[in-house]
Amino acid sequence: MEQFQYQIIFFFVLLILGYFFGRYFEKKHYKSIIKREAKYSNLAVIAIKTVPLSEPVKPSILVTGSVVISVDYFKRFLAMLRTLLGGRVTAYETLLDRARREAILRMKEEASTLNADKIFNIKIETSSISNNASGNIGSVEVFAYGTALVNVN
Amino acid sequence: MLISNLEVIPGKVIIEHFGLVQGSTVRSKHVGRDIMAGIKNIFGGELVGYTELLQEAREEAVERMKQQAQATGANAVVNVRFSTSSVTQGAAELFAYGSAVTLE
Amino acid sequence: MKYSSPKIPEGINTTDENPLKEFAILTSGVISVVIALALVISYSLDWTSQFIPFSYEESIAQPFVDKYTNERGEIDDYLQELADKITPLMSLPDDMSIKVHYVDEDVKNAMATLGGNIFIYRGLLEKLPSENALVMLLGHEITHVKLRHPLKSLNKGMIISLLSAFVGGQTSSDVTGLLSSTGTLTLLSFSRDQEQESDYQATIMIEKYYGHTQGSIELLTILAQQNNKTDIGTLEVFNSHPELQERIKFIEQVSKANNWMITGETVAIPTKISNAINNQ
């Protein structure tokens, strides 16, 4: 029964590592996201397909942004417990929020390097990445794409 | 607040755009529903428990999207799209997004 | 077209709850449910075991015993004779019969299993200093049989692992580990109670047989010496037997409470038998 004790200790070490590093990375990421969102706030992202007729005619190009983010051990364990009892999985809400905003920001960055200031018909795809056979999913890929209207000078 | 998946609402004109607004929620089932679903797997038919669960989650996602739109000062969200994805075994993410606009 | 993008406030799509608090609530919730379930199942299974006839146990056990044991020798006969002398003092139910088997292996243990079959291994037998300790050992194992402990442990083990596979089958291995470990730890506490009860009834019997309880202390001291090498500071909770010091203290308390003599003359194991054990 001694190995049992060591298993439990190992498990707690992983949990603690996951908790502290996870929180640190998440805070850092959110700071970066908020800063960049402020920088690109003038770049219009519109979820409508038809460009208004009032817009001058400009060349259009598809722009995309994607990111894969993984969740730490602590959050994964919390989510597993939650699937036993049901309800909102708060641990994963921040994961998806971060991933989506990051993907949209990367799309905006690409549009901005192409000297565009409007992106139309933005669509977002989310898929989960499985990391072992039992379907224990810990990471999420978010892919954002739209058509940018490029300013020709 | 008007929520629609049309782009051009009949009889209304868009006077201002506010960009993308999104609402999402991650919900999971519990063991009880899981066991019922397992039994239903033998007999077939609608999994009422899961249907209700996902409906509630979708409503919450739309509610959050509306909250974001209200924060921007818009009065409608157009071209609304939904997406469901599984993020972990037994939990699904419900995601709704659209364009916040002021209609007149 | 007119476009403006006011800053959308944080916290609409995320919830601000402290994850540590959620962790504490969820974990304690899950653990208490598992413990409650394990306790309910254990008590009800223990209660139902009285309805399973002893003859069922015997018929299940018989094929395995036949395969596992060799031809009976003089040691088997000696052990069986000794057991037959003790059994009348232990108020066994009429339909139970004890069959003792000697196993020539270096295992420092003895065990009782289904159908009244008791296995004594050479590794422990050769270390016993007197017949008194042997009588205590036999009494302990016979009490396990009398109280249907092998059957009860088997039932509980099966049901709990079935349940944890059923519930945990859909979730990740970590949570399944948590569920089954909580269940196992609850079972271990039942096991400790069973061991203590066996110690108790064996002590009562040995006092009747010899007039004092010396053999019981001797046996536990031998077991304590054997286990000193393997127990590297495991917590009490993880042990299937109570700590040996605790067991010795318990026997001493029982003896004092009944005014029994703790020490007395010991009878040695017949030389013929001890030679046979050491020669093999």
Give domain limits for chain A. 2-150
CATH superfamily of A2-150: Hypothetical protein apc22750. Chain B (3.30.110.70)
* Interchain CB distance below 8 Å, B34 and C170: yes
* Interchain CB distance below 8 Å, A89 and B27: yes
pLDDT computed for residue C169 by the predictor: 59
What is the CA A40 to chain-centroid distance, rounded? Answer: 17
pLDDT computed for residue A134 by the predictor: 52
Average pLDDT of chain C is 81
Beta bridge partners of B98: B21
pLDDT computed for residue B96 by the predictor: 94
* Interchain CB distance below 8 Å, B24 and C8: no
Is residue A63 pLDDT above 90, yes or no?
yes
* Interchain CB distance below 8 Å, A136 and C173: yes
pLDDT digits (tens, 9 = 90+) for C180-222: 777 777 777 778 888 888 888 888 888 888 888 888 888 888 8
* Interchain CB distance below 8 Å, B28 and A86: yes
Is residue C24 pLDDT above 80, yes or no?
yes
DSSP single-letter state for residue C99: E
Is residue B58 pLDDT above 80, yes or no?
yes
pLDDT computed for residue C236 by the predictor: 60
* Interchain CB distance below 8 Å, C5 and B18: yes
The span from the CA of C49 to the CA of C54, in Å, is 10
Is residue C262 pLDDT above 60, yes or no?
yes
pLDDT confidence tier of residue C237, bands split at 50, 70 and 90: low
pLDDT confidence tier of residue A2, bands split at 50, 70 and 90: low
Averaged pLDDT for residues A93-101: 91
CATH architecture of B2-103: 2-Layer Sandwich (3.30)
Is residue B24 pLDDT above 90, yes or no?
yes
Contact in structure between A91 and B25 (CB atoms under 8 Å): no
pLDDT computed for residue C129 by the predictor: 83
Write the residue in A38, A44, A80 that is nearest to C172 by C-beta.
A80
Averaged pLDDT for residues C72-79: 84
Is residue B66 pLDDT above 90, yes or no?
yes
pLDDT confidence tier of residue C52, bands split at 50, 70 and 90: confident
The span from the CA of B79 to the CA of B4, in Å, is 6
The span from the CA of A79 to the CA of C242, in Å, is 37
DSSP code string of chain A = -HHHHHHHHHHHHHHHHHHHHHHHHHHHHHHHHHHHHHHTTTSEEE--SSPPTTSPP--EEEEEEEEEEE--HHHHHHHHHHHHHEEE-HHHHHHHHHHHHHHHHHHHHHHHHTTEEEEEEEEEEEEEEE-STT--EEEEEEEEEEEEEEPP-
Write the residue in A42, A84, A93 that is nearest to C171 by C-beta.
A84
Is residue B69 pLDDT above 90, yes or no?
yes
**Chain A residues whose beta carbon lies within 8 Å of the beta carbon of residue C173:** 134, 136
| A40 touches C: beta carbon within 8 Å | no
* A34 vs C114, residue with greater confidence: A34
Instruction: Let me know if residue C245 belongs to a domain.
Output: yes
Is residue A133 pLDDT above 60, yes or no?
no
Contact in structure between C208 and C217 (CB atoms under 8 Å): no
pLDDT digits (tens, 9 = 90+) for A10-31: 888 988 998 999 899 999 999 9
**Chains in contact with chain B (at least 3 beta-carbon pairs closer than 8 A):** A, C
Collapsed DSSP state (helix, strand, coil) of residue C160: helix
Nearest CA to C152 out of C74, C273, C49, C263 is that of C49
Q: Nearest-CA residue of chain C relative to A54?
A: C1
pLDDT computed for residue C238 by the predictor: 63
CA distance A65 to chain C (A): 20
* Interchain CB distance below 8 Å, B26 and A122: no
Q: How many CB pairs under 8 A join A and C?
A: 80
Residue boundaries of the structural domains of chain B: 2-103
CA distance A123 to chain C (A): 18
Averaged pLDDT for residues B43-51: 86
* Interchain CB distance below 8 Å, C4 and B90: no
**Chain A residues whose beta carbon lies within 8 Å of the beta carbon of residue B78:** 47-48
Terminal-residue alpha carbon distance, chain B: 12
pLDDT computed for residue C168 by the predictor: 62
- State both tokens at A66: 């994607």
* Interchain CB distance below 8 Å, B25 and A87: no
Q: How many CB pairs under 8 A join A and B?
A: 108
The span from the CA of C171 to the CA of C176, in Å, is 7
Residue range(s) defining the domain that contains residue C161: 26-279
Tally of domains within chain C = 1
A105 HSE (CA, 13 A, CB side) = 18
Query: What is the identity of the amino acid at A40?
Result: Y
Is residue C179 pLDDT above 80, yes or no?
no
Is residue A65 pLDDT above 70, yes or no?
yes
Beta bridge partners of B83: B95
pLDDT computed for residue A3 by the predictor: 64
pLDDT computed for residue C232 by the predictor: 52
Is residue B102 pLDDT above 80, yes or no?
yes
* Interchain CB distance below 8 Å, C174 and A5: no
Instruction: Let me know if residue C152 belongs to a domain.
Output: yes
Contact in structure between A49 and B7 (CB atoms under 8 Å): yes
**Is the pTM above the cut of 0.80?**
no
**Chain C residues whose beta carbon lies within 8 Å of the beta carbon of residue B22:** 13
**Chain A residues whose beta carbon lies within 8 Å of the beta carbon of residue C19:** 19, 23, 74-75, 78, 90-91
Averaged pLDDT for residues A134-139: 62
* Interchain CB distance below 8 Å, A77 and C174: yes
Averaged pLDDT for residues C77-81: 87
**Chains in contact with chain C (at least 3 beta-carbon pairs closer than 8 A):** A, B
Averaged pLDDT for residues A43-69: 90
| A75 touches C: beta carbon within 8 Å | yes
**Chain B residues whose beta carbon lies within 8 Å of the beta carbon of residue C170:** 34, 89-90
Nearest CA to A63 out of A98, A99, A96, A112 is that of A112
Instruction: Let me know if residue C114 belongs to a domain.
Output: yes
The span from the CA of A91 to the CA of C10, in Å, is 16
pLDDT confidence tier of residue B99, bands split at 50, 70 and 90: very high
**Chain B residues whose beta carbon lies within 8 Å of the beta carbon of residue A123:** 81
For residue C144, count CB atoms less than 10 angstroms from its CB and return exposed for 0-12, middle for 13-18, buried for 19 or more.
buried
Average pLDDT of chain A is 86
Averaged pLDDT for residues B22-29: 90
| Helices and strands (DSSP H and E) totals, chain C | 10, 3
